[in-house]
Amino acid sequence: MNTKDFAIRKIAFAPLMGESPKGGWTNEIRPEDSVHTLIAVHTESGIIGYGSVFTNGGLVEAALKLLEPLYLGENALEPERVTEKLHQNTFWMGRGGTLTHTISGIDIALWDLLGKALDQPVARLLGGVYRRRAMPYCSVLMEEPGLMRDVAADAKGQGFHALKIGWGPFGRRDDSKLDEAIVKAARAGFGDDTKLFVDAGGSDAFWPQGLRWAIRTAQMLADYNVGWFEEPLRPDALEDFIELRRQSPVPIAGGEVLTRRQAFTTWLTRGAFDIVQPDATKVGGISEQRRIAWMAEEFGIRYIGHGWNTAIGVAADLQISAAMPHTDIVEFIGGSAYVDGLLTTPFKLDADGYLEIPMAPGIGVTLDPEKVARYSPSAASLFAA
């Protein structure tokens, strides 16, 4: 193999717009807003790797222009070394922000490219395949109780055996009866024989609730057999997370807004989480996600990736899931066009409510150029030689 054939020739990007899903934020995004961006790493050989970035297309464009002198001509077969080079040379220009998010997409694309070059799935290159399928939990917004029951029942009807409800009115009206009514409705609609998780959305702007609310709410959630309580506090409230985990009868999850492995160290060593949830499309890519996941393993903390992203992000999460001993569940945002509508062969639940982990080379999925073009005017640049 001539490594010169795998020199990075260019990196293209395509912001996704037109059907951006609601996130439940106080200042809600519009369908035409760009919050996810696909990228493609092109090599001299013509092999292309694809990645996904959780940020606005304009920010990705600026970041790629800044990073270009560092990645042009680099060996695309060395994802960890190349992306660490990008991290190490950008300490002063946006570490943890747009640059880190963009490097995340580059890293995913480099792993995809390496797998294609070696004719192996990324999971095997990460160390080995522990499983061939994972259970997706359908991630939906919280609604008023009447509608919440219908939404939960619809998810069950689609074949999901795990459901996460999040954001919406929960915790935002200072009404404990409403909070409980929402959870009760979701449990009634989804059934007692299923997994139910609750995401308060504490990383929203000016999250109004604190530790006392979180403790009371965790006790309520235990009555409905909730599997974990996610983002119950503001994302920097380390000491409160530690105390909440100590008192909560249900597992505490979080970490989706942290970036790079260094930011997770204190949270893991101090015991702030039962479940840690880095996001591969912004934390630093597959390389950082794997390091965080194994670090959590050493502390007896479960790793389950935050997957509110695109079909490429889901594919990356599935590969990491296959390569970790205890990660048999992945997030799957319900009804998102950017998950359901980009691939030549879309993800499909099996009869048991699981997703098969693709074992094709790379991250195992193929983007459909015509489908991507529906959501991005820049789609052609991803595939053009």
Q: Which domain holds residue 252?
A: 124-356
Question: Which of the residues in the chain have pLDDT under 50?
Answer: none
Residue 374 lies in a domain: no
Is 201 inside any structural domain? yes
pTM of the full structure: 0.97
Residues 311, 325 within the same domain: yes
Which pLDDT score, from 0 to 100, does residue 334 have?
84
Q: Where are the beta strands (DSSP E) in 247-348?
A: 252-254, 275-276, 302-303, 329-333
Domain boundary among 87, 121, 155: 121
First-residue to last-residue Cα distance in the chain: 21
Q: Write out the two tokens for 19.
A: 């059907």
Query: Are the C-beta atoms of 258 and 286 separated by less than 8 Å?
Result: no
Verify that 42 and 152 share a domain, yes or no.
no
Strands 36-43 and 8-16: antiparallel
Last residue of a domain, one of 97, 121, 145: 121
Phi and psi angles of residue 199, each rounded to the nearest 5 degrees, phi first? -115, 110
Token pair of 331 as six digits? 């997030």
Helices (H), 27-71: 57-71
**Are 80 and 39 in the same domain?**
yes
Q: Are residues 21 and 146 in the same domain?
A: no
Residue 263 domain-assigned? yes
Other CB atoms within 10 A of residue 188 CB: 15
3-state secondary structure of 105: helix
- Same domain for 133 and 116: no
Say whether both 11 and 132 belong to one domain.
no
46 part of a folded domain: yes
Listed residues 68, 91, 121: the one ending a domain: 121
Q: Are residues 103 and 87 in contact, defined by beta-carbon separation less than 8 angstroms?
A: yes
Q: CA–CA separation, 138 vs 352, rounded Å?
A: 14
* pLDDT of 1: 63
369 lies in some domain: no
SS3 category, 199: strand
Beta bridge partners of 139: 164, 333
CATH number, domain of 90, equals 3.30.390.10
Residues for the chain: how many in total?
A: 385
| Residue 15 counted as domain residue | yes
CA 147, 150, 153 angle in degrees (round to 5)? Answer: 150
Asked if 161 and 244 sit in the same domain, the reply is yes
Paired with 137 in beta bridges are 331
Any long-range contacts for 42-46 (C-beta under 8 Å, 24+ apart)?
A: 42/8, 42/9, 42/10, 42/11, 42/12, 42/385, 43/5, 43/6, 43/7, 43/8, 43/9, 43/76, 43/113, 44/4, 44/5, 44/6, 44/7, 44/9, 45/5, 45/6, 45/117, 46/385
pLDDT of residue 385: 76
Same-domain pairing of 231 and 91: no
CA–CA separation, 297 and 302 (whole Å): 6
Task: Identify residue 66 by its one-letter amino acid code.
Answer: L
Question: Contact 230/199 with Cβ under 8 angstroms?
Answer: yes
